[in-house]
Amino acid sequence: MVHIAMLTGFVLIAIGIYGALTNRNILRMIVAFTVANTGVNIVLVSVGYMMGRTAPILDAAVPVAEAANRIIDPVPQALVLTAIVIGLGVTALMLAYAYRLYDCRGSLDISRFRDLKW
């Protein structure tokens, strides 16, 4: 189970990065990165997952005393939340960039923004 989830995550990352590296269109690159980010998030949560356990919420089903044996690792879950939000922020920023880039060049082709080099 865990391995499958993780594999999925890794494949998504690879697909995302490949997409970002080969697509010249900036918007497509951004989308590709969100795919990769999703992959990363899947990997993140899958690391904390443990077979047969439940969510880390101490309610009636999981008394505090047994919690250590009943719940899955809560830390990756906390991390993934942060990672998602940060990914979102960066994506938004990239979109803003895309907007401005299009604004000043009239194109979204990444290879057209090469006047700074060497």
Partner 1 sequence: MVKKAIALALILGLGLIFAALLLGYAPDAALNETAAYYATRTADEIGAQNIVTAIIVTYRGLDTLGEVTVLFLTAAIVGLVLSRTRAGDNAPRLSDLPPPGELLEIGTKLLVPLILLFGAYVFINGHLTPGGGFQGGAILASAILLMLLTDPLRRSSHRLISRIESSAGLFYVVIGVLGAALAGGFLDNRILPLGEFGALFSAGAIPVIYALIGLKVGAEFSSMMVSLSETEDE
Partner 2 sequence: MVSAIHILSTGLGAAFLLGLLPEAWRGRAHLVTLAALALMSAIALSWVLAFAFDGQQMVDVFTAGVSPPFAINLRLGMAEAALSLTVCLSGLLSALYLKTSLITQGRRAMAVLLIAVMAFCGIILTRDIFNLFVFVELSVVSVGGLVLLSDDNRALGAGFKYLIVSQVVSILMLLGVIFLYHAGGTLNIDTLTAANAAGIGTGGLAFFLLLMAVVAEAKPVPANGWALDIYQAAHPAFSALFSAAAGTAALFAVDKVLVMGGPTWPPVVAGIGLFSFVAANVLGLSQTHDRRLLGYSSIAQIGLVLGVVGLKDVVGEHYLFIAGGILVAHAVAKAGMFWLSGLVAERKLSAWAVLRKNPILLFAFATFVALLVGLPPFPGFYAKWELIHALMAQDRVVLVALILLGALLEATYLMRWFGYALKRGADLESVQFEVRKVAVVLTAALGGWGLGYVWGELSGHANLLHSMALLFALGFVVLDGLPAWVKNTVAIAGMSAFFYVSYPGYDPLQLIFASIILLGGAAIFVAGYHERGRRLGFYPSAMLMYAGLAMLIVADTTFQFFAAWEVLTVGSYFLILRGKESEPHALSYIVFSLGGAFALMAGFALASGGVSEFAIQGLSDVAAEAAPWVFVLLAVGFMTKTAAIGLHIWLPGAHAEAETDVSPMVSGILLKAGLFGLFTLLMTMGKTQMYGVELTHVLMWIGAISALLGNLMAVFQEDAKRLLAYSSIGQMGYALFGLAMMNHLGWLMALMFVINHYVYKSMLFLSVGGVAKRTGTKLMYRMGGLITLMPLSFVAVLIGIIAMSGVPPLSGFGGRWIFYNAIMTAEYKLPILIIFLSGPIAFLYLFRLIHTIFLGQLKDEHRRITEAPFWIVVPQMLFVAFLLGFAVVPGLALRHVDAYIAQFFVGGGLSWDGLTITSPFGYWSPVSIMIVTGAIFAVLLAWLVFLNHKAQKVKQFNIVFAAERPHRPETTHFAWNFYAPYRKAFGFLLKPYATWFWDGVAGAFHGVAETARRFYTGDGQVYAFHMLGFVLVVYLIAMGM
Q: Contact residues for partner 2 (CB under 8 A)? A: 13, 17, 20-22, 24, 26, 29, 33, 36-37, 40, 43-44, 47, 75-76, 79, 82-83, 86-87, 89-90, 93-94, 97-98, 100-101, 104, 110-111, 113-118
Q: How far is the CB of 116 from partner 1 (least distance, A)?
A: 19
Binding-site partner at residue 81 among partner 1, partner 2, none, CB < 5 to 8 Å by type? partner 1
Contact 71, 38 (CB under 8 A): no
CB-based contacts of 35, cutoff 8 Å, min separation 6: 12, 15, 16, 19
Token pair in block for residue 99:
């907007």
CA 3/CA 104 separation, integer angstroms: 46
Checking phi first, is residue 106 left (phi over 0); if not, alpha (psi -120 to 50) or beta?
left
* Shorter beta-carbon distance to partner 2: residue 71 or 79: 79
Q: How far is the CB of 115 from partner 1 (least distance, A)?
A: 20
